[in-house]
Amino acid sequence: MNTTMTLTQKVFRAVITRILHLLLRALCIIDSQEFLNAIHGNKQIKAFEAPMIIAINHINFLEIPMLVALSYPVYLTGLVKDETWKNPFVGFLMDVYNAIPLNRDGSYVQTFKQVQKIMEKEQVFIAIAPEGTRSTNGILSQGKAGIVQLALLTGVPILPVVHFGGEKIWENMRRLRRTPFHFRVGRPFRFKYEGRPDKKTKQAMLNELMGQIAALLPETMRGAYADQVSKEPEYLEFLEEKLD
């Protein structure tokens, strides 16, 4: 996988992003102002001037096309399960956006190396769904600690982002209705930790990250992390606090 975008990729990306934007607007009523403000106008994020991880809940196929279309021309890519490339057309689209293949059953070492290469050369947002699999119903499920490992390895901050409404896309399409699709954005943060955390500490850090995601969701969708929302985080250092 190339770690920088060629001119051809950039042209394809611009064209495909425009098509995506039109299709998504036809299917959905998108409440995206919070996300647009965060990506294109947030002073804390701009002041940091570095790559950033977007931690997002995973409901269905909609969130990544939405993120890509709304963030353009900001460079955004994501971790995508490696079997996606079995479909030649979808694989081509993934290559256009420099998506990073993830083997969910194996080691993350190679994936993390690819992420680091991109982050060293580009001002980029890397979208990661800590749940690892689609919920389909929108209720937040258990996260996986790979995102904690990556954040500690790279030292980049995390921006929690959630979406909801898209879980009703198929029902609304059958009724020929557009789907209300909502984005909510939290406070960017980094993990406060020196050295390599043990399994228990890593789990606590993951719980705090997932708590930040859960807090942005309606109460009925917070799932496994409903109780985490009210807890004071121990391992999170919020970006605006550091910049003050």
- How much is the average pLDDT of 75-98? 85
At residue 181, the pLDDT reads 95
CB–CB of 96/115 below 8 Å?
no
Q: Which residue did the predictor score with more confidence, 218 or 90?
A: 218
Q: With bands split at pLDDT 50, 70 and 90, how would you rate the model's confidence at 120?
A: confident
What are the two backbone dihedrals, phi and then psi, of residue 188, each rounded to the nearest 5 degrees? Answer: -65, 145
Position 105 pLDDT exceeds 70: no
Contacts of 204 (CB under 8 A, 6+ apart): 234, 235
Position 205 pLDDT exceeds 90: yes
Burial 72-98 (b: 16+ CB within 10 A, else e): beebbbbbbebeeeeeeeebebbebbb
* Residue 48 bridge partners (DSSP): none
CB–CB of 54/22 below 8 Å?
no
At residue 239, the pLDDT reads 81
Q: DSSP state, 73? A: T
- 40: tokens are 């294109």
Q: With bands split at pLDDT 50, 70 and 90, how would you rate the model's confidence at 197?
A: very high
CB–CB of 147/205 below 8 Å?
no
Q: What is the pLDDT of residues 150-162, one digit of tens each?
A: 999 998 999 999 9
As a whole-number percent, the residues of the chain with pLDDT over 70 amount to 91
- How much is the average pLDDT of 215-243? 90
Identify the CATH assignment for 7-243 out of 1.10.3470, 3.30.450, 3.40.1130, 3.30.70.
3.40.1130
pTM of the model: 0.90
Q: How many CB atoms sit inside 10 A of residue 146's CB?
A: 18
The helix or strand, by DSSP H or E, that contains position 181, with its residue range, turns out to be: strand 179-185
Q: With bands split at pLDDT 50, 70 and 90, how would you rate the model's confidence at 1?
A: very low
Q: With bands split at pLDDT 50, 70 and 90, how would you rate the model's confidence at 171?
A: very high
Position 34 pLDDT exceeds 50: yes
Please return the burial class of 139, using the count of CB atoms within 10 Å of its CB with bins 0-12, 13-18 and 19+: middle
CB–CB of 184/157 below 8 Å?
no
Q: What is the pLDDT of residues 37-48, one digit of tens each?
A: 888 876 666 665
Angstrom CA distances, 227 to 136, 219, 234, stand at 22, 10, 15
* Domain ranges, ordered by start, for the chain: 7-243
- 209: tokens are 């990250």
Average pLDDT of the chain is: 88
Strand, helix or coil for residue 110: helix
At residue 87, the pLDDT reads 85
Q: How many CB atoms sit inside 10 A of residue 231's CB?
A: 11
At residue 96, the pLDDT reads 82
